[in-house]
């Protein structure tokens, strides 16, 4: 679920389960002139949720409120999750780790593979390029030289056929044809 779909989901949730039945924590990070506050609220009382039986191992609903304060400009975003986890600390860690990985991958795709520069492409062309870019990134991470950055692996693959073959076919691949 996203913030546009919820119509104040936390208000709806709190009406059904009450604020007293919600578990919450808050984290604050101060970094490079930014203050990021995240509030995680969970409830395991799901009687009010229609269709809950359609979700295997559904145990909680989660609301994450992210507040960013950059040079006195404050933005707030809310996200909602359905989860099999019940411990608010484990949920917060899982969400934080997911976004850390997601943000890292987007940075690599944008900076190293210039993904954002493809604005003139048609929709299917963008989707095809995104698929190829992610495949290349996964191959570099799976079969590349751990000592090389993604950018350097990409450069080396463009200049070294055997390294390109290693990326495509795996580290143990051997061209035994002659």
Phi, psi of 80 (to 5 degrees): -125, 145
Banded pLDDT at 105 (limits 50, 70, 90): low
H or E element at residue 114 = none
Banded pLDDT at 75 (limits 50, 70, 90): very high
User: What are the boundaries of each domain within the chain?
Assistant: 1-86, 112-170
**Contact of 113 with 136, CB cutoff 8 Å:** yes
Tens digit of each residue's pLDDT (9 = 90 or more) over 8-67: 555 555 555 565 677 888 889 888 888 999 999 888 888 877 788 888 899 998 888 889
| More confident: 107 or 81 | 81
Banded pLDDT at 2 (limits 50, 70, 90): very low
**Contact of 38 with 64, CB cutoff 8 Å:** yes
Would you state the pLDDT for residue 84? 92
| More confident: 97 or 76 | 76
User: Looking up tokens 């949730």, which residue turns up?
Assistant: 13
Where is average pLDDT lowest: 46-55, 123-132, 162-171? 123-132
Distance CA 102, CA 96 (A): 10
Banded pLDDT at 6 (limits 50, 70, 90): very low
Q: Residues near 42 by Cβ (< 8 Å), separated by ≥ 6?
A: 22, 23, 24, 60, 61, 62, 63, 83, 86, 88, 91
Would you state the pLDDT for residue 177? 54
Would you state the pLDDT for residue 18? 60
pLDDT at 91 over 80: yes
| More confident: 7 or 21 | 21
Tens digit of each residue's pLDDT (9 = 90 or more) over 141-166: 888 888 988 888 888 988 998 888 88
């Amino acid at each position: 679920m996203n913030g546009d779909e919820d119509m104040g989901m936390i208000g709806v949730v709190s009406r059904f389960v009450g604020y007293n039945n919600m578990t919450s924590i808050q984290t604050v990070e101060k970094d490079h002139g930014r203050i990021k506050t995240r509030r995680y609220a969970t409830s395991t009382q799901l009687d009010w949720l229609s269709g809950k039986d359609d979700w295997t191992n559904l145990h909680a609903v989660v609301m994450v409120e992210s507040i960013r304060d950059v040079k006195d400009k404050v933005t707030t975003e809310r996200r909602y999750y359905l989860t099999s986890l019940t411990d608010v600390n484990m949920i917060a860690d899982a969400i934080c780790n997911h976004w850390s990985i997601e943000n890292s991958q987007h940075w690599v795709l944008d900076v190293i593979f210039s993904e954002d520069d493809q604005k003139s492409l048609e929709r299917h062309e963008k989707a095809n390029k995104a698929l190829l870019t992610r495949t290349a990134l996964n191959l570099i991470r799976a079969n590349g030289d751990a000592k090389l950055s993604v950018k350097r692996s990409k450069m080396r693959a463009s200049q070294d056929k055997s390294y390109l073959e290693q990326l495509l076919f795996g580290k143990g691949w051997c061209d035994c044809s002659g």
